[in-house]
Amino acid sequence: AVLPALSHWRRGRREQAAVDSWRYQVTWKPLTEAVGARLDGTWIVAVPAADTAAELVAGCLRALEARGARPVVVPVAVADGTRAELAARLTELLAAPETVRGVVSLLAFDETAHAAEPALHDGVFAGLLLIQAMADAAARVPLWSVTRGAVAVRADEPPTRPAQAQTWGMARVASLEHSAFWGGLVDLPEDVDERALTRLAEALARPDDEDQLAVRSGGVFGRRLAPAGAARDAAVRQWRPTGTVVVTGGTGALGGHVADWLAERGAEHIVLTSRRGERAPGAEELRARLTAAGARVTIAACDVADRDSVARLVRSLAEAGDPIRAVLHTAGVGHLLPLVATDVAEFARIASGKVAGARHFDELLDPATLDAVVYFSSIAGVWGVGDHGAYAAANAHLDALAERRRAEGVPVLSVAWGPWAAGGMVSEEAHEQLRRRGVPLITPEPAMVALQRALDLDDTFVAVADVDWDRFVPAFCVARNRPLIGDLPQVQRLLEATDADQAQNDSAAGFRRQIAALAEDERSAAILDLVRTQAAAVLGHPNADAVEPTRAFRDFGFDSLTAVELRNRLTAATGLRLPTTLVFDHPSPAGLADYLRGELVGGDADTGLMSVDEIDRLEAALALRESDDIGRVRIVMRLESLLAKLAKGTESLSNASSVVEQLGAATNDELFDLIDRDLGAI
């Protein structure tokens, strides 16, 4: 009787440990301030056209001037034709004799509700138009977006303006799609004084790679992703649904998984909302399944983007004696587009449901009667995902709103999910592509364990994603360094290994160059000295004097283990691929040195070029590597670069240089498309 219970407990613990490894949180790291840092040249400052003389705008301009910049104000309005006009103006400014050093966007300050899409603000649409215009103008100067009160550096200082977090979500996607002109994000505090404005200007002049910054009274902070793990030694509660629970988007695949989980957890009354209600495909089958699990089920036609529709739902449930105790907001539109191809109407179609739905329930429900409100957010809003600009903007808003409302006492949780399998917003065709990029799909069962975990731990925000960092980091960082993930232990280990490999490669390359530059007798002496020094290190001798050149290795006490260690040391020092039987094939230091000299120099020491055999070995090695291996792509890029240099100006191969430049500036998506399309057969 005990054994099955123990087995079940052990499986549960293993599953929970795996899920805990998927949990991430956002933290803010105090940074050394760039006190006294100076700007120079012209800085284009994009400001809301409706309020160009606002006090905060004027203060930002003063701060830039005080730090040496020459600001040129460019008003931006959300209107037809703005994109083309703005692109023309930017092209004109960028072509002027005066050097343009960067663009600063103050557009997010405009929180005027958009005339046609009141759930969203003019500021985010103006920011979208600016990104598009910079792409149209082929800009290569950094774009910095400035917000105010959009992020929470501390739990006791929540976002004061969550709507401006939309700019953060959208800009993170821009950093991937438009790395050629990506600069960064800076958030100002709600109370902006002269010191904060000075810190803003100094932040723009920072010499490092920090690109997501918050200015506060205590200094400047950099945004970081960190493991959330279990967060506490034990859960603070065991959350269970009670009373009436509303699932928005409830008749969709994602909503259906959530409804099944609620029924399994003992939910009394589950309300599934969608635009089509009972006419939605599979609605009746879902009702039957939930009813069989013991839940009472209501399927309601409700457009959560329409406040009146949500108000009718809340009122009808209350009048029927079923006041809402919890809301799980899963509704969303998953249509994907790059930012340059997203117009205002499409942006609103993707973002409005998420943003408006959360706001309407927030406004219409009494916080005192709620057990939980859960926003199903996305990692697109946390670290950016290509083609998810509008979606990332909406979800970043939800994450900020959760922090704001939790500080006000409302039990809100935002979970930024990685891509879901089994009918989430990710097509089956995209499954393999995501796996290659290091973000495999999450299946519903462990996802629900993660949701339960977040509720039991009473989280406010958590990102849940199964990330293969070995695959993810090279693609994510292909265009630039990403401090956001730099403090993660998995990433640090990877970067340390990469740095060590590079240092080793550099050292080996330096040794080979040194050998090639020596006269023949000097080469032999240098290589013999290397062998004797490494052999002495393996044997524990203080220097090479104890290793006689002609004495057999076995006489020194070498065995199979020490022989392999010597081979590894010589491999690292020379960069050669050496056999494990190296010491036994060449039994004395002098004999081994002769072998290494032949491998390092060959018969033509003066050319320094690869032999045909070496090219054959490289071809064989590339054939063994996976076609989607980012390291393989980098090797190919280096080879393209070498071909360009060897061409010595001939037209046929000069195009290779252009290819290399394009590869260097390519986005993650473009690079992986290149792998699939052009490099798959190599």
What local confidence, expressed as pLDDT, does residue 77 receive? Answer: 93
CB 597 within 8 A of CB 524: yes
Q: DSSP assignment of 210-245, as one string?
A: --EEEEETTEEEEEEEEE-TTSSSS-S------SEE
Which pair of tokens denotes residue 401?
A: 């709103």
β-pairing, 412-417 vs 372-378, is parallel
pTM of the prediction?
0.76
Instruction: Give how far the C-alpha of residue 629 lies from the chain's centroid of Cα atoms, to the nearest Å.
Output: 19
Q: CA 14 → CA 9, 21, 44, 265, distances in Å?
A: 9, 11, 54, 20
Min mean pLDDT across 21-35, 78-92, 648-662 is at 648-662
CA angle at 267 for the pair 261 and 269, rounded to the nearest 5°:
120
Which pair of tokens denotes residue 384?
A: 């950016």
Q: How many CB atoms lie within 10 A of CB 11?
A: 10
What CATH architecture does domain 492-601 belong to?
A: Orthogonal Bundle (1.10)
Please tell me the chain's helix, strand, coil percentages from 3-state DSSP, rounded to the nearest 5.
Answer: 55, 15, 30
Rounded to whole angstroms, the Cα distance separating 516 from 585 reads: 25
- Binning pLDDT at 50, 70 and 90, where does residue 500 land? low
- Binning pLDDT at 50, 70 and 90, where does residue 654 land? very low
Q: Quick one: which of 680, 530, 551 has its CA closest to 593? A: 530
Rounded to whole angstroms, the Cα distance separating 236 from 12 reads: 18
CATH class assigned to 15-25+228-482: alpha beta
Please report the sign of the dihedral spanned by the C-alpha atoms of residue 26, residue 27, residue 32, residue 36.
Answer: positive
Rounded to whole angstroms, the Cα distance separating 607 from 512 reads: 13
Q: Is the pLDDT of residue 113 over 70?
A: yes
What local confidence, expressed as pLDDT, does residue 580 receive? Answer: 73
Which pair of tokens denotes residue 640?
A: 């393209």
Rounded to whole angstroms, the Cα distance separating 661 from 467 reads: 29
Which pair of tokens denotes residue 149?
A: 């009160």
CATH of domain 27-222: 3.40.50.11460
Length of the chain equals 682
What local confidence, expressed as pLDDT, does residue 629 receive? Answer: 56
Q: Is the pLDDT of residue 677 over 50?
A: no
Can you tell me the mean pLDDT for 555-581? Answer: 84
Rounded to whole angstroms, the Cα distance separating 394 from 184 reads: 19
Rounded to whole angstroms, the Cα distance separating 532 from 551 reads: 11
606-632 confidence digits (pLDDT tens): 444 555 556 666 666 666 655 555 556
63-81 confidence digits (pLDDT tens): 999 999 999 999 999 988 8
- Binning pLDDT at 50, 70 and 90, where does residue 651 land? very low
Q: CA 357 → CA 119, 309, 407, 524, 628, distances in Å?
A: 9, 10, 20, 76, 40
Q: Is the pLDDT of residue 204 over 70?
A: yes
Half-sphere exposure for 216 (CA within 13 Å, toward CB): 19
Average pLDDT, the chain: 87
Min mean pLDDT across 4-8, 205-209, 388-392 is at 4-8
The three state secondary structure string of 27-49 is EEEEECCCCCCCCCCEEEEEEEH
CB 392 within 8 A of CB 385: yes
Highest mean pLDDT: which range of 196-205, 425-434, 546-555, 607-616: 196-205
Q: Quick one: which of 535, 474, 579, 116 has its CA closest to 305? A: 116
Which pair of tokens denotes residue 237?
A: 């509660």
Q: What is the DSSP letter of 482?
A: -
With residue 25 as reference, give the H or E element that holds it. strand 23-31
Q: Is the pLDDT of residue 427 over 80?
A: no
With residue 556 as reference, give the H or E element that holds it. helix 553-556
Indicate the burial class of 478 (C-beta count within 10 angstroms; 0-12, 13-18, 19 or more): buried
Q: CA 115 → CA 119, 310, 489, distances in Å?
A: 10, 21, 46
Min mean pLDDT across 263-267, 594-598, 612-616, 654-658 is at 654-658
Rounded to whole angstroms, the Cα distance separating 19 from 229 reads: 8
**Same fold: 15-25+228-482 with 27-222:** yes
What local confidence, expressed as pLDDT, does residue 670 receive? Answer: 54
Q: How many CB atoms lie within 10 A of CB 188?
A: 25
Q: Is the pLDDT of residue 240 over 90?
A: yes
Rounded to whole angstroms, the Cα distance separating 493 from 510 reads: 25
What local confidence, expressed as pLDDT, does residue 246 receive? Answer: 98
What local confidence, expressed as pLDDT, does residue 660 receive? Answer: 47
Q: DSSP assignment of 237-294, as one string?
A: ------SEEEEETTTSHHHHHHHHHHHHTT-SEEEEEESSGGGSTTHHHHHHHHHHTT
134-171 confidence digits (pLDDT tens): 999 999 999 999 999 999 999 899 999 999 999 999 99
Rounded to whole angstroms, the Cα distance separating 307 from 317 reads: 16
Rounded to whole angstroms, the Cα distance separating 397 from 166 reads: 5
- Binning pLDDT at 50, 70 and 90, where does residue 430 land? low
Can you tell me the mean pLDDT for 18-47? Answer: 95
329-365 confidence digits (pLDDT tens): 999 887 789 999 999 999 999 999 899 999 999 999 9
Break the chain into its structural domains and give their ranges. 15-25+228-482, 27-222, 492-601, 612-679
What local confidence, expressed as pLDDT, does residue 603 receive? Answer: 44
400-418 confidence digits (pLDDT tens): 999 999 999 999 999 999 9
Can you tell me the mean pLDDT for 319-336? Answer: 92
Encoded amino acid at 80, one letter: D
Encoded amino acid at 668, one letter: N
β-pairing, 42-48 vs 100-105, is parallel
* Rounded percentage of the chain residues whose pLDDT exceeds 70: 83
